[in-house]
């Protein structure tokens, strides 16, 4: 049966059970076929394979359920899988390591585009399938979002071109409209440099993770007027954020980072070299 593409985005939860992954794969394929999008059969086969790999990785490596969102960008099919682990897949020596190994190599080789982003629940790994002109399409259609209630009333707002999600929804119970509006978050993630991190009181050893990654966020119905316009939220490192930055404060943080980078390079590094040379000259 054909389904309306306005069901995009479509989300559901996948439990950490052996039969859940095949069921999720079939659900995704049936949904996309119902949208009647112009994807050839081999691309639909890739959709089935890559969906299986991402969902399997999510439940196998966390032993927990995961959330799946399927959306039509207007050009491509996009599948997002969110699990409870903050550890994101990383490229290493031309291959992909961390969770899933082979599965993530498949994702990189078959997907038109793919990536990962931090999420309050853990992380989201996503892929897109469809035509490629060398630049990925926006994650949502710029212009306007509309939430329609079951009573027929509609609330609309501006949807920025950079937003990763379209909050458009239909048949929302009227008494749930305030909750839906409060939850609207226009967001665009950006990555930070990978550095070796350790937290002696939390885990042993060293883990490579991103620092100063974050997102541009706008919450048009937030009680704080300062968050109703786009701000930058910076995660200093895992679980540590600098929140609500306006353009001036972004510039201030950037200036401090540049100053600190210069301090590390011009002061700390020479001092370290001198200390190491001094240490070598005076063995214990």
State which of 118, 149, 184 marks the end of a domain: 184
Please report the pLDDT score of residue 24 as a whole number.
94
| Distance (Å, whole) CA 75 – CA 58 | 26
Residues 149 and 261 reside in one and the same domain: no
Mean pLDDT value across residues 219-226:
91
Best CA proximity match to 110, nearest among 91, 125, 127: 127
So what's the pLDDT on residue 212?
81
- pLDDT of residue 165 exceeding 80, the answer is no
Confidence check: pLDDT of 190 > 50? yes
Is 149 found in the same domain as 253? no
The top-scoring range by mean pLDDT among 15-19, 50-54, 59-63, 88-92 is 50-54
76 with 130, same domain: the answer is yes
Shortest CA distance to 188 belongs to which of 148, 161, 207?
A: 161
Please indicate, yes or no, whether residues 43 and 81 belong to a single structural domain of this protein: yes
- Give how far Cα 96 sits from Cα of 51, 204, 219, Å: 17, 23, 35
174, 191: one domain: no
Residues 138-160: pLDDT tens digits?
A: 444 457 888 889 888 999 988 88
CA terminus-to-terminus distance, the chain = 79
Q: Residue 69's beta-bridge partner residues? A: 11, 80
Please write the tens of the pLDDT for every residue from 44-87.
999 999 999 999 989 888 888 999 999 887 678 899 999 988 88
| pLDDT (mean) for 209-224 | 85
Domain identity same for 132 and 21: yes
86 and 208: one domain?
Answer: no
Same-domain status, 63 and 98: yes
* 125 and 153 belong to one structural domain: no
Residue 83 corresponds to which tokens in the numbers above? 């699990």
Of the given ranges (31-35, 75-79, 209-213), which has the lowest mean pLDDT? 209-213
Q: Do 120 and 12 share a structural domain?
A: yes
Provide mean pLDDT across the span 230-237: 83
- Containing structural domain, residue 256: 187-281
Percent of the chain with pLDDT over 70: 85
Per the model's pLDDT, the better-predicted residue between 108 and 204 turns out to be 108
Same domain, 26 and 133: yes
| The pLDDT value given to residue 132 | 59
Say which CATH number the domain at 81 has: 3.30.565.10
Would you say residue 4 has pLDDT above 60? Answer: no
Q: What is the mean pLDDT of residues 203-217?
A: 77
Last residue of a domain, one of 100, 116, 137: 137
- High-pLDDT (> 90) share of the chain, %: 19
The pLDDT of residue 108 is 82
The mean pLDDT of 230-240, rounded to a whole number, is 80
Asked if 143 and 163 touch (Cβ cutoff 8 Å), the reply is no
Residues 10 and 106 in one domain: yes
Average pLDDT on 171-179 reads 90
How many structural domains is the chain composed of? 3
* Half-sphere exposure at residue 194, Cβ-oriented, CA atoms within 13 angstroms: 10
* Mean pLDDT to the nearest integer, 251-265: 86
Q: What is the mean pLDDT of the chain?
A: 80
Ranked by mean pLDDT, the top range of 15-19, 67-71, 93-97 is 67-71
When pLDDT is averaged across residues 25-37 and rounded to a whole number, the result is 88
Q: Report whether pLDDT(101) > 60.
A: no
Residue-level pLDDT at 41: 85
Mean pLDDT of 269-280: 78
């Amino acid at each position: 049966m054909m389904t309306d593409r306005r069901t995009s985005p479509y989300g559901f939860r996948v439990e950490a059970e052996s039969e859940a992954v095949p069921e999720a794969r079939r659900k995704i394929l049936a949904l996309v076929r119902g949208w009647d999008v112009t994807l050839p059969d081999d691309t639909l086969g890739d959709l089935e394979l890559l969906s299986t790999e991402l969902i399997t990785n999510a439940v196998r490596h966390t032993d927990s359920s995961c959330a799946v969102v399927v959306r039509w960008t207007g050009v491509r099919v996009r599948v997002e899988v969110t699990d409870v682990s903050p550890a994101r897949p990383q490229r290493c020596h031309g291959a992909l390591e961390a969770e899933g190994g082979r599965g993530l190599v498949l994702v990189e080789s078959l997907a038109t585009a793919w990536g990962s982003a931090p999420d309050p629940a853990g992380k989201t790994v996503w892929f897109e399938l469809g035509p490629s002109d060398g630049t990925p399409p926006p994650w949502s259609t710029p212009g306007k979002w509309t939430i329609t209630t079951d009573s027929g009333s509609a609330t609309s707002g501006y949807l920025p071109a950079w937003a990763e999600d379209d909050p458009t929804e239909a048949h929302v119970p009227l008494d749930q409209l305030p909750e839906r509006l409060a939850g609207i978050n226009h967001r665009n993630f950006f990555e930070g440099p990978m550095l070796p991190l350790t937290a002696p009181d939390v885990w042993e050893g060293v883990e490579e993770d991103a620092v100063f990654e974050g997102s541009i966020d706008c919450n048009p119905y937030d009680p704080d007027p300062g968050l109703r316009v786009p701000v930058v939220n910076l995660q200093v490192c895992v679980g540590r954020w600098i929140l609500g930055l306006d353009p001036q404060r972004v510039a201030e943080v950037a200036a401090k980072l540049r100053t600190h980078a210069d301090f590390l390079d011009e002061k700390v590094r020479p001092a370290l070299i001198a200390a190491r040379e001094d240490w070598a000259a005076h063995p214990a």
